[in-house]
Structure 1
């Protein structure tokens, strides 16, 4: 996974990492965003509709091993599951395409179809506005950021009953060279389920991360991987713009997870693993969305820092988070 060739992108990504780390006083060894997470493992099985759209290995093989990371927002590694700032939740999926794990392609998603800004520079400006207490003015001048902030972000009953959205567009390329622009969605087979305010008040600080291993001990959890298909004129280079709900949605396959990584091992592996928003696999091409290279650079820069940090061995004590 190389850094982008555009030095301006790399510089902005470095500024983003530092700004996020400063905002959350992040300990070494953790991500600057979505720091609190847990790894699970399973497999992906494609549908018959997937192969005609793309030559990508995981959309054509009988099944592909997956590593999935469920997470909470912010760079605070001990943020309570009941803190509103922990929403939206994250789901990152690695499709493991070789026995040694070195060949892979990833999907990075979160539990709202909104994203506040179109570019990395815009995200830096938003964080600076938050830090400078000028966020009200920023939201007035940036409707997409206001839409993200104001969008409902309910608490999920479980990581396994949440919907997740891949906000960037990608081009699926078939064996005859034809391309189809899509955006990914993951929908839970157990059904979408969220909590009421009174339900949240009765939950423990770790209810989501406690429930996940308990659920998987009783059987797998699964999600349908869908692709919303763009039509002529739909923007593919702007994650803040939604495509009409009437667009065709194709089911690409089923992601089934059945085991939770032991917590100490999960922490070590999370410190090492760097998810890549750019697909880097035959049969799937990135769109011209400027966030893709920016996100890839942010993940790589912060990932290299994590790998160089001491391993976080101890489970953090929960502090009051407002």
Structure 2
């Protein structure tokens, strides 16, 4: 699946650089839509959705994406969540310590190229940065031997809901009112009264103000994954990317610039690369493995492994940057990393694919009108 998506991305980049004429461009997009349809079927087949349970996961993905679109209205051509973002490129410098937990090649000593994306959550690509309480980081590690590791992380270590159905209900509660342009506080309060984990999420964000930049936030994988060693033994792990730049909360003056996050990132990178440490936290008895709404308490006896350094070297606009056509599916994993039973993982994977398909289909319709 990962190789097929990467091939499609290469086709997109190659066709663009070749400067195809308008009729050929339309044909190009038509071919892409057919290809995406085939990929979607292969993806569903490999996930076990083809056959008797075929209606379940695709239906959930459709409901989630529809719910995203309903929150602020449609924004054709953009991701259905994290619509506003900026592409990045660099590498991961593995120190070899992660090999004690997983046989994944990404943890062997050496350098692995990465392409990624910083973003803020939400469906509106023109939202002001100051309105967001979260920062997000998605990465694609180009692991040797053609493998990939993709991960989408947030600056909050928990999710607000546990299941896809609860997430759809939360999005409905957060739908913008046409009169005010903001969610109805009473509707949000009613949802949180019925979902204590959503209140816990909001409480965490209130006591941990958003960072002043993409560069000084810690990013969490949130869900647990099963790390398999070379001898076949395994244990569950949650990971985070911890910045070398000291955290600072966003300042009131910054909010006057609606795009201060991207501006700060570009200006900072002109002075040199940015670095984060990949920290692998190992589960202890009693830790929630299949529930991303539950924190893992940071006790002194928890094993935490610094597996290496993420180095971000450059940034590009998302409209034509290398991250544009990458689907940061959290279930694209290298051998040695496996998903837990967290129900949000498969739902996120299906939702990302649905969003990707809609974005590409909208490009076809746009090209046909040119």
- Taking structure 2 as the reference length, the TM-score comes to 0.78
Task: Show CA shifts across 1:16-42 (max 9, x none).
Answer: 101101212131111111100011100
Bigger Cα Rg: 2
Give 1:205 shift: 1.2
Asked if the contact 1:36–1:77 (Cα under 8 Å) also holds between the matched residues in 2, the reply is: yes
RMSD over aligned CA atoms reads: 2.1
Aligned residues: 305
Task: Compute the TM-score of the two structures, normalised by the length of structure 1.
Answer: 0.89
Distance 1:88 1:26 in 2: 22
- The structural deviation recorded for 1:89 is 1.1
Answering whether residue 262 of structure 2 is matched by residue 209 of structure 1, we say yes
- 1:279·1:286 contact (CA, 8 Å) conserved in 2? no
Deviations 1:260-313 (A, max 9, x none): 1255422xx4441101111432010100111100000000110111122228x9
1:68 Cα deviation (Å)?
Answer: 1.6
Aligned to 1:316: none
Counterpart of 1:318?
none
Partner of 2:241: 186
- The 8 Å contact of residues 95 and 308 in structure 2, kept in 1 or not, is answered as yes
The CA deviation at 1:199 is 3.6
1:144-223 equivalences in 2 (<5 Å): 144-151=197-204, 152=206, 154-196=209-251, 198-201=252-255, 203-223=256-276
Mapped partners of 1:19, 1:251: distance in 2 = 38
Give the distance between the partners of 1:262 and 1:308, measured in 2 at CA: 21
1:127 corresponds to: 171
* CA contact 2:327–2:352 (8 Å) conserved in 1: yes
Name the CA distance, whole Å, in 2 between partners of 1:54 and 1:237: 19
Do the aligned residues in 1 keep the contact of 2:96 with 2:109 (CA within 8 Å)? Answer: no
Mapping of 1:27-176 within 5 angstroms?
27-83=75-131, 86-97=132-143, 103-131=147-175, 134-151=187-204, 152=206, 154-176=209-231
> For the Cα contact (< 8 Å) 1:92–1:109, is it kept in 2?
yes
Deviation at 1:61, TM superposition (A): 4.6
Of residues 329, 334, 343 in structure 2, which corresponds to 1:290?
A: 343
> What displacement does 1:98 show?
5.4
Moved runs in structure 1, 4+ residues, more than 4 A?
none
- The structure with more helix, counted as a fraction of residues: 2
| 1:135 shift after superposition | 2.5
Post-superposition Cα deviations, 1:86-133, rounded to whole Å, max 9, x if no partner, equal 22111001101259xx74111111111121111101101222233485
Structure 1: state its 5+ residue gaps.
Answer: 314-322
Is 1:304 equivalent to 2:304 in the alignment? no
The answer to whether the Cα contact below 8 Å between 1:59 and 1:252 also exists between their aligned partners in 2 is yes
